[in-house]
Structure 1
Amino acid sequence: MGWGKRSILSAAVTVVCAVTVLSAPGTAFAAPKPSPSASPTPPPSKDLEKVRAQLDKLYHDAAVATDAYNAAEEKTKQQSAEIVALAQKIDEGQQNLARLKDQAGAAAREQYRTGGVPPTAQFLLSDDPGQVLDGAGLVLQGQRATKSLMSELTSTQQQLQAYAHDATEQWKKLDAERQAKAVAKKKVQQQIDAAEKLESQLEKKEKERLDQLEQQAALKAQTDWLDTGILKRIHGKASAQGEKAVAFATEQLGKPYVWGAEGPKSYDCSGLTSQAWAAAGHPIPRTSQEQWQQLKHVDVQDMRPGDLIIYFDDASHVAIYIGDGAIIQAPRPGRTVTIAGAGSMQILGVVRPDA
């Protein structure tokens, strides 16, 4: 009886130890040979590392294509607005042209009614030279008015031709950007589909282990960044607008990442940051690359909550800094808006929207 209790206790301790070892991040262990009925054994960590590297590349390429799609989308919006403005100018010009033509027609009819007799002839033929002189002054004024009318008529016609030419050019640009959007959209979907297919080939335990590897890689990068002592040099205080931007981003936590989305139910990385600053009353460019190119750069040690951290050499990812070495970001497809370490990815630089 006593031996039975000891056996049960020993077995319990063994199970607890096994669970502890298996749950420890990065712990290597020897996998037993599977029986015919057992589920497939996860591949070694080094194989999953290759999978993780492949997934990182696929999602990175998807992010680059998403930025291209967003840029084309913004350009189509701008060009559509310009075409509408040009159409309004053309309409106004046509109305003005019709008015000028009516005036010119009225002048021509008046000239026909008076016989088109020059002032000098009217003076010689009239019994009242004084009246003719008065009439001559009016005719001179009429001639000047007619000349001005014809000049305005010509100018209006030229403006209409210019507006029509500009509208044609904008239509060509709009068509080109629509094609660019279609190409970028196809590429985004191809990368995401490939990533999802790769992940679908993994067993449950492999996916869990892959998640652990991703977390470990992010934690190591964040730890290495913090070990530089960077936080001791960062003392920036958020501006009033920066606080509003951070508050907006905080309210979006848990919402899904959807490429090309800018709220309110889902976001991509730059969709989140651009909407956060729009909510703060300070609109900024839509894409991470434009944010990097157009906003003021500041040193990492000088950043403050509300600033945007741009990641990777091609500026393909962006997040909003919230202080204490943390960011809020929309990471990638399959993830939600979340808090992460500011140094968990390769930092390209920091930009300040309200500099």
Structure 2
Amino acid sequence: MIRRGTVLVCALTVLLVPAGGVAYAEPSPSPGTRDPSPPADDPENGDGGSGSGSDEADGTDEPVEIDPELAKRLEKVRKEIDKLHDQAGSATDAYNAAAVKVKKQEKAIADLARKIENNEGRLQNLSNRAGAMARAQYRGVGLPVSSRFTLERDPEKFLRSVGLLYKGQQATKGVINRLDSTQKSLRGSAKKAAEHWAKLEAGRKKRASAKKEIQAKLKKAEKLEADLAEEERELLLDLEDDAAHRRQLEWLRSGVLEEITAKASKKGKRALAFALDQIGKDYKWGATGPGTFDCSGLTLRAWESAGLRIPRTSQAQWAGLDRVKLTSMRPGDLIIYKGDASHVGMYVGEGTMVHAPRTGRQIRVEGVGALPIKGIVRPDA
């Protein structure tokens, strides 16, 4: 029987000594991490899949021999699952971009609707005024100006009446001009509204298509894992941990951790405390709590609990928050991962971070270097 805790590539738990002579050991488990597998006596056994068999005399689990074909198949499954989640991450980028455009078009349409409503009221008012002026002028100009001069005995009264008539005509002309301008504005607003509506519909279709693609990728990844036997799933978890530990140890060997000494801010401490309190909760795409979170949903709510509102998605957090150097990183800062900024975690300290990994996994603490780092952002800079 394959025992839980068997390590397929378990040379990770031995000390690695980089060129500079500084030895790094695998960090002790932080709260929320899975129990580390026991170290292999021979590093080669952890890498090649040949164990020493099991010995139950002392009640401990010993590495057992793993079928190389099984190890190869599970590694292939692991890589395929990783690939699907990466593709889902890229599709999420498209989904978020479409969602931003949809919001923009919805706002533009709402603004235009208010403008149209205001202009319609103005148009009605101007129409009423123009009609009243037209009726007044019709009643007052029954005779030509020359006839009025003949009939009017007082030249001064005549001039005053002509002046008033001229002012009335100018006022009427002004109302008519404003009426015409308002009508043109209404037509322009209606045209713009139609254009924005078309863009809104296109954005909604793109968003729906991206969401469908994401769900398909995640469903396929879930099925790949669900089709494995229980013991195989346990070994798959070992493989995932192993890959993450390898990357973390490589990051530690760079020596950068020695340069990261900044302390958390007050708000950073509060945000971090919230994130750590969520350890063990399930990842769910698109979730922002309280029972489940996706990666950026966790960081969003964590910083919200500290009194700061930050962008919703990891891409938007990368684009919208102040960037800092890796060596200036402090607890509470956000670590943006992958080339497309499709993942985010929060720095805990001492080379670890807390994050919501992916579908089928729980919020946990892992090494900062467990994933390819894109950069660091600080919400409370």
User: TM-score higher than 0.5 here?
Assistant: yes
Deviation sequence 1:292-313 (CA, Å, 0-9, x none): 3343332111122332211112
* Structure 2 residues not aligned, in runs of 5+: 1-53
Please report how far the alpha carbon of residue 195 of structure 1 lies from its aligned counterpart in structure 2 after TM superposition: 1.1
Distance of 1:259 and 1:53 partners within structure 2: 20
Q: Which runs of 5+ in 1 are unaligned?
A: 1-12, 23-27, 32-41
Alpha-carbon separation, structure 1, partners of 2:151 and 2:348: 93
Q: Could you list the per-position Cα deviations for residues 248-298 of structure 1 after superposition, in whole angstroms to 9, with x for gaps in the alignment?
A: 434443332221223343322223333444554544433323333343332
Aligned Cα RMSD in Å?
A: 2.6
Output the TM-score relative to the length of structure 2: 0.77
The CA distance in 2 between the partners of 1:304 and 1:118, in whole Å, is 88
The one-letter code matched in structure 1 to 2:65 is F
CA deviation after TM superposition for structure 1 residue 19, in Å: 4.2
More helix by share: 1
Q: In the alignment, does 2:133 pair up with 1:107?
A: yes
Matches within 5 A, 1:85-164: 85-115=111-141, 117=143, 121-164=147-190
Q: 1:265 to 1:122 in 2, by over 3 A?
A: farther
Residue number in structure 2 paired with 1:9: none
Distance 1:99 1:264, change over 3 A: farther
Q: Hey, what does 1:15 align to over in structure 2?
A: 56
Q: What percentage of aligned pairs have identical amino acids? A: 48
Mapping of residues 1-355 of structure 1, within 5 Å: 14-16=55-57, 19-22=60-63, 29=65, 44-115=70-141, 117=143, 121-355=147-381
Whole-angstrom CA distance in 1 between matches of 2:148 and 2:266: 79
Residues 119 and 139 in structure 1, CA contact (< 8 A), matched pair in contact too: no
Conservation of the 8 A alpha-carbon contact between 2:331 and 2:346: yes
Q: For 2:152, give the aligned amino acid.
A: S
C-alpha contact (below 8 Å) 1:257/1:331 kept by paired residues: yes
- Give the 3 Å change call, closer, same or farther, for CA 299–48 of structure 1 in structure 2: same
For each residue in 1:76-116, what CA deviation from the matched residue of structure 2 results, as whole angstroms up to 9, or x when unmatched?
A: 23322321221111111101111111111111111111135
Taking structure 1 as the reference length, what is the TM-score of the superposition?
0.83
Indicate if the aligned counterparts of 2:55 and 2:62 stay in contact, CA closer than 8 A: no
Partner AA of 1:114 in structure 2: G
Distance change >3 Å, CA 244–CA 14, structure 1 → 2: closer
Q: Measured at CA, do residues 249 and 92 of structure 1 come closer, stay the same or move farther in structure 2, by a change above 3 Å?
A: farther
Name the SS for the 1:285 alignment partner.
coil
Q: Distance in 1 between matches of 2:224 and 2:122?
A: 63
CA distance in 1 between partners of 2:263 and 2:73 (Å):
44
Q: CA 1:142/1:274 → structure 2, altered by over 3 Å: closer, same or farther? A: farther
1:38 aligned partner: none
Label 1:293 to 1:200 Cα distance change in 2 as closer, same or farther (>3 A): same
Moved more, 141-150 or 200-209: 141-150
Cα 1:217–1:141 shift into 2, 3 Å: same
CA contact (8 A) 1:257 1:333 kept: yes
Counterpart CA distance in 2 for 1:309 and 1:98 is 57
CA deviation after TM superposition for structure 1 residue 189, in Å? 1.8
CA contact (8 A) 1:104 1:146 kept: yes
Instruction: Assess if the C-alpha contact under 8 Å between 1:58 and 1:192 holds in 2.
Output: yes
Change (3 A) 1:172 1:248: farther
User: In structure 2, do the counterparts of structure 1 residues 250 and 106 end up closer, same or farther at CA, with 3 Å as the change threshold?
Assistant: farther
Could you say if the C-alpha distance between residues 261 and 149 of structure 1 is closer, same or farther in structure 2, counting changes exceeding 3 Å?
A: same
**DSSP 3-state at the match of 1:153:** helix
